[in-house]
């Protein structure tokens, strides 16, 4: 593997973890606000269900993104992830899951695209 490229597994799960952390905070704050404050939210909250759902998304997105990144590295693909057919195959597969996590997949891919662009700009000579 190229020394300049990160490990696909660590990259996939790092990006998924960033998404899950941000989405979890936004989800919790929105639910607390909707309930009218922490005192109204906490007795009715299904915190275990919320954390389980977030961990499920972490595993789902991390696994799929690891596969897409691994195939991109193996094929030496350098174009934008949204122009890559591997991204769209994963999007279609994720789209048939009943909970419809397709929008999250797009956000995870945007985070990966941003990190990849930053990494490539650091590697270019000034």
pLDDT for the residue numbered 116: 87
pLDDT for the residue numbered 101: 79
* Other Cβ atoms within 10 Å of 58 Cβ, number: 19
Residues 101 and 94 sit within 8 Å (Cβ to Cβ): yes
pLDDT for the residue numbered 40: 83
pLDDT for the residue numbered 124: 67
Mean pLDDT of 21-30: 89
pLDDT for the residue numbered 65: 92
Q: Where are the domains of the chain?
A: 8-117
């Amino acid at each position: 593997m190229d020394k300049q490229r990160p490990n696909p597994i660590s990259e996939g799960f790092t990006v998924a973890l960033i998404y899950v952390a941000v989405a979890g905070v936004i989800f919790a704050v929105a639910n607390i606000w909707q309930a009218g404050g922490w005192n109204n939210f906490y007795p009715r909250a299904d915190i275990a269900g919320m954390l389980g759902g977030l961990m499920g998304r972490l595993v789902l997105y991390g696994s799929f993104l690891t596969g897409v990144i691994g195939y991109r590295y193996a094929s030496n693909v350098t174009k934008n992830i949204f122009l890559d057919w591997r991204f769209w195959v994963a999007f279609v597969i994720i789209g048939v899951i009943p909970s419809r996590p397709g929008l999250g997949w797009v956000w995870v891919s945007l985070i990966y695209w941003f990190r990849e662009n930053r990494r490539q700009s650091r590697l270019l000579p000034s």
